[in-house]
Structure 1
């Protein structure tokens, strides 16, 4: 089914392309509404889903949290800080060996994947160290 390329969809896309911090749908809506107050939250959410489905942006599923959206559609990994909840790109080369091993182990042709690591970012580690009276790392 062909979808129309609406003005609202372009506004949502351009907003995500400007946001390099893996925003939630609410973050995107707030940014869009600041410039275009007549656009509803439902319109932003619907367009985010459509853009992700079309592959123009990437949805980053976050267990027990709000999904994030990424302007970078290349296959890559993410890490989420368990302290502040921020999501970052992991700078690792594409791991074709891993994909091949998954395909070989179960016979499934992998078309896309989402790997999300969890840990504590440097800022949260520093805050934790300062609260405990330890020197910052």
Structure 2
């Protein structure tokens, strides 16, 4: 059983590394093409466990499905509002930014996640061609 479990985890990890910021559904679809007997629950459960244990990162996308990222260092993301693609942002992570927030609601802020929103280059080209 452990061999199968390791095999499944390896397939899932391979897809997270191969696909750009995939959703759980995208990982499942890719793994199922290789190993049709795998269940969606197995993929989702493993992605959750892998992100909780720090093997991969979970990127929470406002108004969208969570994404998974092979990059473990803290960084920002941008989501295309046209196609929904998620990409890394090439800028430094601002350590301690949460300490600069003035809170009037009583929160104790301990971290931050920022997802920028815009239009990717491919979608800009498609919009111009309309």
Q: Which of the five TM-score ranges fits, normalised by the shorter chain?
A: 0.7 to 0.9
Cα 1:12–1:124 shift into 2, 3 Å = same
Q: What is the Cα deviation at residue 118 of structure 1?
A: 0.5
Q: What is the Cα deviation at residue 9 of structure 1?
A: 2.1
TM-score (norm 1): 0.80
Pairing 1:5-20 to 2, within 5 Å after superposition = 6-7=5-6, 8-19=8-19
For the Cα contact (< 8 Å) 1:75–1:113, is it kept in 2? no
Unaligned runs of 5+ in 2: none
CA shift digits 1:55-106 (9 cap, x unpaired): 111111112211111111110000000011100000101212524424x868
TM-score (norm 2): 0.83
For the Cα contact (< 8 Å) 1:60–1:69, is it kept in 2? yes
CA distance in 2 between counterparts of 1:96 and 1:53 reads: 21
Pairing 1:26-65 to 2, within 5 Å after superposition = 26-65=25-64
CA distance in 2 between counterparts of 1:43 and 1:107 reads: 36
Give the aligned partner of residue 78 of structure 1. 77
SS at match of 2:33: helix
SS at match of 1:96: coil
Unaligned runs of 5+ in 1: 132-137
Give the aligned partner of residue 94 of structure 1. 93
Q: What is the Cα deviation at residue 31 of structure 1?
A: 1.0
Cα 1:61–1:97 shift into 2, 3 Å = closer
Question: For the aligned residues, what is the CA RMSD?
Answer: 2.2
Give the paired residue count.
Answer: 125
